[in-house]
Amino acid sequence: MYIIIIGGGRLGYYLAKALLNEEHEVLIVEKNATVCETIIGELGSICIRGDGCEATTLTEIGTGRADMLIAVTGDDEDNLVSCQLAKHKFNVPHTIARIRNPQNEALFKKLGIDATVSSTNIILEHIKGEVPTHPLTHLLTIRDKGLEIVEVKIPPDAATVGKSIKELSLPPGSKLALLIHKERKPRIPAASTILQAGDQIIAVTTPESEEALRTALRGA
């Protein structure tokens, strides 16, 4: 695949390295001359100096035949414009934008950017998962199906400790996939499974019923 990366910062650099290892054709567009030289020195001539938001630059590097354009500069607005140019002027089939402000996810999606990655959100979720009292952690989002996989921890004082799964009023569309207890092997929860303090539950749900799922599993 021919993959264009806009932005040669740390993220762009390591992304290029990983994609080169998978034997893709990779080109980085970077504004800063010094950064450009460093990348060329280390990875070979896979970087050109230019503005990835300018149609002339994108024409020069043959964006028309690119399979994918990934914009990973530090500015959301630059990433948006690069992806929109690629999408609408050069018909690049797949565009991915890095976003810093998690709020921008909805806008980018609305404007036809194929995928967004919010480093802020990813880091936030990881940190929240490390906080022992945090009720619900997002593990994975299956975007095109509108589903997410979450982890819910059952604290010792939860109203649901000692209850069986069938006694819980789980929201429709939510499925409990796995129950992890600290001393026993992980298992698929059955209707008769009794919840215990410290249990970790992995569930599939939708963003809308996330709150209801949390309440059902931990009590109000």
**Binding region for another protein (CB under 8 A) out of 7-15, 81-89, 140-148, 187-195:** 81-89
CA distances from 160 to 49, 107, 133, 186, 196 (A): 59, 39, 16, 19, 8
| Chain position carrying tokens 């890095």 | 98
Cβ distance to another protein smaller for residue 109 or 166: 109
61 contacts another protein (rule: CB under 8 A): no
From the list 76, 97, 153, 195, which residue makes contact with another protein (rule: CB under 8 A)? Answer: 76
Residue nearer to another protein on the CB measure, 85 or 204? 85
CB of 35 to another protein, least distance (A): 19
Query: Rounded distance, CA 98 to CA 79, Å?
Result: 7
Q: Which of the ranges 7-15, 18-26, 48-56, 176-184 carries the binding residues for another protein, by CB under 8 A?
A: 48-56
Hunting for tokens 């390591």 — which residue is that?
Answer: 14
- Could you say whether residue 105 binds another protein (CB under 8 A)? no
Residue 172 CA: distances (Å) to CA of 175, 177, 206: 8, 14, 10
> How many chain residues touch another protein (CB under 8 A)?
20
Binding mask 7-46 for another protein (x = CB under 8 A): ----------------------------------------
Could you tell me if 61 and 38 are in contact, meaning their C-beta atoms sit under 8 angstroms apart?
no
Closest distance between another protein and the C-beta of residue 99, in Å? 11
With CB under 8 A as the contact rule, the residue among 55, 127, 159, 177 that binds another protein is: 55
Query: Which range, of 13-21, 105-113, 132-140, 202-210, touches another protein by CB under 8 A?
Result: 105-113
Least gap, CB of 105 to another protein (angstroms): 11
> CB-wise, 101 or 184, nearer to another protein?
101
User: What is the DSSP pairing of strand 175-180 with strand 94-99?
Assistant: unpaired
Q: What is the dihedral of CA 169, 172, 178, 181, to 10 degrees?
A: -20
d(CA 145, CA 94): 18
Give the residue, chosen from 75, 114, 125, 148, that forms a contact with another protein under the rule CB under 8 A: 75
CB 39 within 8 Å of CB 31:
no
52, 29 contact by CB (below 8 A): yes
Distances (CA, A) of 216 to 125, 138, 162, 183: 21, 17, 14, 24
- Contact residues for another protein, defined by CB under 8 A: 53-56, 75-78, 80-81, 84-85, 88-89, 101, 103, 106-107, 110-111
